[in-house]
Amino acid sequence: MLLKWFKTAVNYVKKYWIWFASGLAALIFIIVLSLLIFGGKSEPKVEEAAVATETAAVVVKEPDFRYPVREKFDVKNKKDWANSRVVLQAEKESWVRIDDARGNSVFSRVLVPGDVYYMPVSDKLKATFGNVGAIDVWVDGQRLKKLGPANTKKTGISMAPDALKSVGFAE
């Protein structure tokens, strides 16, 4: 009896295999989608909650940007804002690429007027600007003089805060 039922089931699956494959694909899709949507949301542990309360006391002071901020890049939380000593803001459209010490691209994007990029904390980052005169550079909350004339490509600029301060601050 069991063998007859098994043969019938196998024949049924062979006959309607496309439905079984579609159902399996749909089930996998739903599982992956639910993991992506709900997977990262968990209650913080006691240690994480203590750290969150300690860092909440840190007052984040952003630069007094000259243009309204359109979009912020590489800012995951307020802690990153506080740690970032170098901030870029686009005055006009400009391509910006930031490379690490090995030459790997950390950030590469066309910034449009108002876009802000918070530089990771590192003394080994180098920048390439497609329009260097269109980018305002802020170090420790103070705006620097322009790194070059408008509509000029400049490459290999050290983004170390101390090296940038040697350029001088704007009035």
Please report the pLDDT score of residue 76 as a whole number.
62
Please report the pLDDT score of residue 48 as a whole number.
46
pLDDT tens across 85-94, in order?
899 999 999 9
Residue 73 near residue 97, CB atoms below 8 Å: no
Residues with pLDDT less than 50, the chain: 47-60
- Can you say how many angstroms the Cα of residue 143 is from the centroid of all Cα atoms in its chain? 23
- Count Cα atoms within 13 angstroms, Cβ side, for 61: 7
Q: Are residues 33 and 67 in the same domain?
A: no
- Report the distance separating Cα 81 and Cα 117, nearest Å: 10
Domain contains 33: yes
Q: Are residues 80 and 141 in the same domain?
A: yes
Question: What is the SS3 assignment for 23?
Answer: helix
Distances (CA, A) of 122 to 44, 137, 161, 162: 29, 16, 9, 11
pLDDT tens across 124-142, in order?
999 999 999 999 998 988 8
The range of the structural domain enclosing residue 31 comes to 2-38
Domain contains 7: yes
